[in-house]
A and B are shown apart, each in its own frame.
Chain A
């Protein structure tokens, strides 16, 4: 593969908050393919998706990533203030920016876990999304939150002080926002999917303890606003990157779907281990240097 080109950019949400964006591309970029926008899962950052981005670029795509506002990562705000509505605005900003930057009318969104729910919502609203591919996508937020946090907050009359995920504290705003904007229910997700005319593809992990695959089947059957496809990765956990073999299977199938969506002939190829490793180290250094500097200045 020819040299990959990595760049840092920024854009803003509609109300002016800064969203950090990374792009990865190469001079072998297939000019006929649509750009890809990657939406990381909850509490994940751009550098956790090095492999996906590198696979994309290695197979001729232009790839954008972003960190949402009020989240971990390089954008404005702190994860304490995380809400799904902000997550939606961050994805919207990244999609709009990518279209402007590349001159493309449309993009394909690849979103993971909780961000899948947000991507479905944006697909119903934005003509700039040509298709959405999700991995371990959440359609029933109430159920997934109950599994992750061991409480069904949707029924709480009073908000909790905070939630905790992987050692990080998240304020009660996420619950309040979910209640006010009806993010909770599977039924509301199905209503959204009925309005999504674009193709949707979702990868299910058969060993995923946080996503009930029956809900996904129900959502994709009833939410039949357009073509729908489900792929179950057998013996795959929620974190598809944990098992390198699962990751490679997922990324290879994902590339095949991207080829089909772009009507590209041929078989996707796997980027060399060392290329991914070098890129992963580079991105971790950028992400961590900024994080450490921010923490020092805050202290």
Chain B
């Protein structure tokens, strides 16, 4: 007879063990977007400040950067926590943990050599997936097999290290998924056949996931084939990535929604949603039915003045910036090249909290100018060469 791992002589031993830290409890609890605003603020204060201290201890480059700011790190206000221009991730690797703990290095899209490179440990990766899981629940309440995902992207293997493609491919962990990009080519006919087959021969709902330009490509083929999809309330289109990049299409978001609804025969434009993430950010922001992207409370999102990076008021147009407490392997305290707005209050969907929108991307020269303005002494964190790639996005 084998022995139990028991110390006492009693036949029954009972032991209690802490199973989760507070932040994981919040991220995976699935209710963070439904909490009252005051609670969300408290969560944000606690976790962002705690992450700040962790990154000062773990990332010497960030600690040097902070040291030059002469701030009281113990009692710092979130608005004064120094933020890193995302361009810095193109120049160097910033890690807050020993490199041996990094499980995945991810690259932004764009051309090699001018890509951001971000390393994540297991905890950061799990938390990113947790934020997607919570976000998916805002799209609808489906059990695993109640949805068939038509993914306009490659498999996880073909996605390689490109963050946007990698993250999208992992939807396969949640729902049955077929990938319809192979060797960089969209297999539109097969994707459409899959949609029609599921609509007619299954009681599953369908989620079409892909970059906006691929969704447009799919609608073009559907129109060309004069197909009447008439999916009504059984299909949802979820976009991620590249509204500007491949947008030769010159389509506003409203026009995009209208086109997608018409071609797929959807009941409501609440069935067209967008998800925001970028390689330097460790949390996905998912749109609610009112088309606002909700920012979970472990991320402090703000906009900043381009000249001095000071934090702006709610709703003011400025550079989007995030302090994301969920990343443990690198300081996800960033200011981006995106111009947008951040709102705090009650969303038309009824939830209290923070929402954000991207309005446009800063031009390359302006972005560089802005980065240089942050602090001339922090050149280590700022690219000195003009680069010709667009900033990257998910």
Q: Which A residues fall within an 8 A CB radius of B? A: 130-131, 166-167, 197-199, 201, 206, 217, 220-221, 224, 226-236, 242-246, 249-250, 253, 256-257, 260-263, 270, 272-274, 277-278, 280-281, 284, 288, 291-292, 295-296, 299
9 A-B pairs (CB sep. < 8 Å): A167-B146, A243-B19, A244-B123, A244-B129, A253-B17, A260-B5, A261-B2, A274-B104, A281-B156
B346 an interface residue at 8 Å Cβ cutoff? no
Q: Cβ of B11 and Cβ of A228 under 8 Å apart?
A: yes
Interface string of B110-147 (1 = CB under 8 A from A): 00000000000011011101100000000000010110
B15 an interface residue at 8 Å Cβ cutoff? yes
Chain B residues with Cβ under 8 A from A224's Cβ?
11-12
Q: Cβ of B2 and Cβ of A235 under 8 Å apart?
A: no
**Which of B25-33, B242-250, B315-323 touches A?**
B25-33
Scan residues 1-35 of chain B and give those whose CB is less than 8 A from a CB of chain A. Answer: 1-6, 11-21, 24-25, 28-30
Chain A residues with Cβ under 8 A from B17's Cβ?
231-234, 249, 253
Q: Cβ of A246 and Cβ of B20 under 8 Å apart?
A: yes
**Which of B75-83, B169-177, B302-310 touches A?**
B169-177
Interface size for B (C-beta < 8 A) is 41
Nearest A residue to B16 via CB reads A232
Chain A residues with Cβ under 8 A from B12's Cβ?
220-221, 224, 228-230
Question: What 3 pairs between A and B have smallest CB-CB spacing?
Answer: A260-B5, A243-B28, A244-B126
Known: A228-B12, A230-B13. A243 touches B20 (CB 8 A): yes
Known: A244-B24, A292-B176. A234 touches B5 (CB 8 A): no
Q: Cβ of B15 and Cβ of A295 under 8 Å apart?
A: no
Nearest A residue to B29 via CB reads A243
Chain A residues with Cβ under 8 A from B18's Cβ?
234-235, 249
Scan residues 270-295 of chain B and give those whose CB is less than 8 A from a CB of chain A. Answer: none
Closest beta carbon of chain A to B131's beta carbon, Å:
11
Known: A167-B143, A249-B17, A288-B176. A272 touches B5 (CB 8 A): no
Closest beta carbon of chain A to B356's beta carbon, Å:
25
Closest beta carbon of chain B to A168's beta carbon, Å:
8
B201 an interface residue at 8 Å Cβ cutoff? yes
A197-B1, A234-B18, A261-B4 given; name 8 further pairs at CB < 8 Å: A217-B14, A229-B13, A235-B25, A243-B29, A244-B129, A245-B126, A261-B3, A284-B172
B202 an interface residue at 8 Å Cβ cutoff? yes
Known: A236-B20, A245-B24, A245-B28. A231 touches B201 (CB 8 A): no
Instruction: Tell me the bound Cα distance from A278 to B176 in angstroms.
Output: 15
Q: CB < 8 Å: which of B5, B19, B173 contacts A233? A: B19
Instruction: Tell me the bound Cα distance from A231 to B18 in angstroms.
Output: 10
B223 an interface residue at 8 Å Cβ cutoff? no
Q: CB < 8 Å: which of A249, A260, A277 contacts B4? A: A260
Q: Cβ of B1 and Cβ of A198 under 8 Å apart?
A: yes
Q: Cβ of B176 and Cβ of A296 under 8 Å apart?
A: no
Q: Cβ of B13 and Cβ of A199 under 8 Å apart?
A: no
Instruction: Tell me the bound Cα distance from A292 to B176 in angstroms.
Output: 10
Closest beta carbon of chain B to A155's beta carbon, Å:
29
Q: CB < 8 Å: which of A236, A242, A273 contacts B30? A: A242
Q: Cβ of B28 and Cβ of A130 under 8 Å apart?
A: no
Q: Cβ of A230 and Cβ of B14 under 8 Å apart?
A: yes
B103 an interface residue at 8 Å Cβ cutoff? yes
Closest beta carbon of chain A to B368's beta carbon, Å:
35
Chain A residues with Cβ under 8 A from B123's Cβ?
244-245
Closest beta carbon of chain B to A257's beta carbon, Å:
6
Q: Cβ of A229 and Cβ of B6 under 8 Å apart?
A: yes
